[in-house]
Structure 1
Amino acid sequence: LKLDAPIRVMNVCGGHERSISMAGLRGALPEQIELIPGPGCPVCVCPEEDVFAAIELALKQGVILVAFGDMLRVPANVPKGQPRSLEQARAAGADVRPIASPREAAKIALAHPDREIVFFAAGFETTTAPVAGLAAEGLPSNLSILLSGRLTWPAVAMLLQSEKAGFDALIAPGHVSTIMGPEEWRFVPEKHRIPAAVSGFETESLLAALYSVLRQHLEGRPFLDNCYPKVARPGGNPTARRLLEETLDVVDANWRGIGIIPRSGFALKPEFARSDAARRFGLHADATRKRAGEMPPGCDCARVVLGKIYPNQCVLFGKACTPRNPIGPCMVSDEGACRIWWSSGIRQAAADEHAPARY
């Protein structure tokens, strides 16, 4: 392909960013191609007030707090000396347990009928669908859900509706498309005239999607190409979509460090109010907390999530913020761009904060 000018390609999914980094694709591709990690980390955008609420529940309500493993180290903004993560709350005596599946939450609830169990469930459509399935099956009476589910496409739509999108083509997430259907991303080429392709997680699928969007760009013929057809099929997963619709409402939702994005979150329907931890325990956002809802001081995770800067262009990267001591959520999760870049061998902040990354 004759690439006469730079082209910026955003990949939405944290799994894509991990595959790109581990395969060394940035260093192998022509220098005109700039690959930008986007808003594909649900842990990174989980509202700070939800993390704080989970910590408070674990420390002060005597509940068994269960969550997917990477949520345990996400920091909240609290005064110095107080537990700033679920991991630190556990060290302080709280009963906090990592789980890998929603079914584990139900098993723990059945095994402890005399205890209140709270499942802190953060994730995008792929992770939220099994949570919806758990709710549809019927939760044990002592199990409630603190839900921080988010939809992926509204964040991309927000970027495209801004004055400067920051990218010329999009590689759409394969797992989300498997649940919701690839056609969910048609708005990108049809409304915004930007090339788009759904990709899987193997290098071959990523290269196929990249080749597709580059050709679309060069030919001036944007459309949605499905480069993950064996898994991402038209209509998505009918059962998963039905469960999401039966148990959850789509609502305006807060994204940490970014703000409210319209119709970008999931909330339990009113008929599941008994299983809603926020209602069950009377949780309310405490606006009096210093930096409530924000990223930690000096942390640039919000701009990393939005593809405005690369991870190593944050001044804290590799200095104050490392996987052993994460300041921001992007250094915590395996789907966070900062953690991925660190794991790929990038250990220092960029000398030139405006230079595109080549590694």
Structure 2
Amino acid sequence: MPITAKQWLEQIRTLPLPKRVRIMNVCGGHERSITQAGLRAALPRNIELIPGPGCPVCVCPEEDVYQAIQLALNESVILVAFGDMLRVPVNVPKDQPRSLDQAHAAGADIRPIASPMEALQIAQANPDRQVVFFAAGFETTTAPVASLLVEGIPENLSILLSGRLTWPAVAMLLDSGTPGFDALVAPGHVATVMGPEEWQFVVDKHHISTAVAGFTPESLLAATYSVLRQLIDGKQFLDNCYPELVRPGGNPSAKQHLNASMQVVDANWRGIGTIPASGFKLREAFAEADARLRFPEYEEPARRRAGEMPPGCDCAQVVLGRKYPNQCRLYGNACTPRNPVGPCMVSDEGACRIWWSGGMRSVQV
């Protein structure tokens, strides 16, 4: 019989816990499940669950969003993007469109999609139009883009790629010397694609308890119990609490397509700066499908800067797990899901949006 969430909670409550344990969950999907299931309130009060850098919409560089907006406004193209990206704001004067949604209202042909296959279908249905797919995301959404490229796309479809890898952000936090967490719950969907071994460095190099989790309360509590036991026993290892989908080595086909079509490069993260070997770039063999090369006049390096969040916005600190969402002074005041100031209030994977949707209204500055 599988262990229920209630049974996991009972086992956790029997542990001889230290006075304070900080567990970071990397994935935005994890944070959503934790909040919706009320796990913070159900766990012992000395266990802190810290949302980490698992929201691709939140870290997509401002210059990439700005480039997509300008391309859509100034070229006769159809620009498609995952739905959350349409509401991400950039820093521009008030009389200019500050999001893809606003650019659409100004006349640009911008369409939300839910999968890369929709981008292909739109290109096939409009052979006389250039279609640009603004592809922002982590490994789980970048892998299908890679498969699309490897299998072949029509000449009128190009990719404006803003893909990121998850683990380098955690490595940066750990290498900083002040990571702010004692244990790690690693993302199940990323591990399904790339393999759990990507997270072995957390144990081997930093001696931090780590477990891969799925998205049910049972899997998340199993991972929580695992890292707590590791801390108590003083024996750190990488545990797989999502064996239903996560296998050693990950998904061979997905990884092959990623390696064939993309290379790993240093990449900018919004509000954080450049993280080494943390981004994807199209290989030269796929240059004809690269929207940056097809429309180079809309790339503005001058917009690339580390402190790109709007004034007063603490999204970068929230992404890095250094602040809780309700510790931002804009949270729930100037910044709400209806009128987001920062990207963390836009996406269903952004911690601020998740906390607000979960009923957290009080601000703790």
Report TM bin, short chain. over 0.9
Residue of structure 2 aligned with 1:334, choices 323, 339, 348: 348
Post-superposition shift, 1:220?
A: 0.8
Contact kept in structure 2, 1:132 and 1:247, CA below 8 Å: yes
Match among 96, 107, 110 for residue 82 of structure 1: 96
SS at match of 1:192: coil
Q: Which residue of 1 is the match for residue 57 of structure 2?
A: 43
2:312 counterpart SS class: coil
Indicate yes or no: 2:133 matched with 1:132.
no
Q: 1:221 aligns with which of 235, 242, 251?
A: 235
Equivalent residue in structure 1 for 2:135, among 108, 118, 121: 121
- 1:140-289 equivalences under 5 Å are 140-283=154-297, 285-288=299-302
Contact kept in structure 1, 2:292 and 2:299, CA below 8 Å: no
- SS state at 2:205 partner: helix
Structure 2: state its 5+ residue gaps: 1-14
Offset at residue 4 of structure 1 (A): 3.0
- Equivalent residues of 1:53, 1:283 under 8 A apart: no
> Which stretch of structure 1 is more off in the superposition, 292-301 or 3-12?
292-301
- Provide runs of 4+ in structure 1 moved above 2 Å: 283-293
1:178-230 residue CA offsets vs partner (Å, 9 max, x unmatched):
00001110100111000000000000000000000000011111100000011
Q: For each residue in 1:77-100, what CA deviation from the matched residue of structure 2 results, as whole angstroms up to 9, or x when unmatched?
A: 111111100000001110000011
Q: CA deviation at 1:314?
A: 0.3
1:125–1:150 CA contact under 8 A, matched in 2:
yes
Change beyond 3 A, Cα 1:270–1:293: farther
- Match of 1:144, SS? strand
Preserved contact between residue 271 and residue 306 of structure 2 (Cα < 8 Å): no
Q: Is the 8 A contact 1:47 1:293 kept in 2?
A: no
* Cα deviation digits, residues 268-324 of structure 1 (max 9, x gap): 001111110011101464355597971112111000000000000000000000000
Residues 236 and 289 (structure 1 numbering): CA distance in 2 closer, same or farther, change over 3 Å? closer
Distance 1:200 1:118 in 2: 33
Cα deviation 1:54-109 (Å, max 9, x = unaligned): 00011001210000000000011111111100000001110000011101111111
Query: Are the counterparts in 2 of residues 44 and 301 from structure 1 also a CA contact under 8 Å?
Result: yes
What residue identity is the alignment partner of 2:101?
Answer: E
How far apart, in 2, do the equivalents of 1:348 and 1:123 lie? 30
Check conservation: 1:189, 1:195, Cα contact below 8 A.
yes
Look up the SS of the partner of 2:259 in the other structure: helix
Distance in 2, Cα, partners of 1:81 & 1:291: 22
Query: 1:102, 1:212 → 2: CA distance?
Result: 36
Letter in 1 for 2:310: P
* Matched-pair contact (CA < 8 Å) for 2:71–2:298: no
Question: Quick one: structure 1 residues 88 and 76, their matched pair in 2 at CA, closer, same or farther if it must change by over 3 Å?
Answer: same
**Structure 2 CA distance for aligned equivalents of residues 84 and 108 of structure 1:** 25
CA shift in 2, pair 1:201/1:193, >3 Å: same
Distance in 2, matches of 1:181 and 1:279, equals 32
Match of residue 54, structure 1, among 62, 68, 71: 68
Distance verdict in 2 for CA 1:292–1:283, change over 3 Å: farther
| Identity, % of aligned positions | 72
Structure 1 runs not aligned, ≥5 long = 354-359
1:318 corresponds in structure 2 to 332
Alpha-carbon separation, structure 2, partners of 1:76 and 1:273: 27
RMSD: 1.3
Q: Partner amino acid for 1:304?
A: V
| Counterpart Cα distance in 1 of 2:17 and 2:205 | 25
Helix, strand or coil at the partner of 2:192 = helix
In structure 2, the partner of 1:13 is 27
Contact 2:62 2:303 in 1 (8 A): no
On the 8 A contact 2:143/2:257 being kept in 1, the answer is yes
What is the rounded CA distance, in whole Å, between the counterparts of 2:304 and 2:142 in structure 1?
A: 30
- The separation in 1 between residues aligned to 2:318 and 2:337, in whole angstroms, is 16
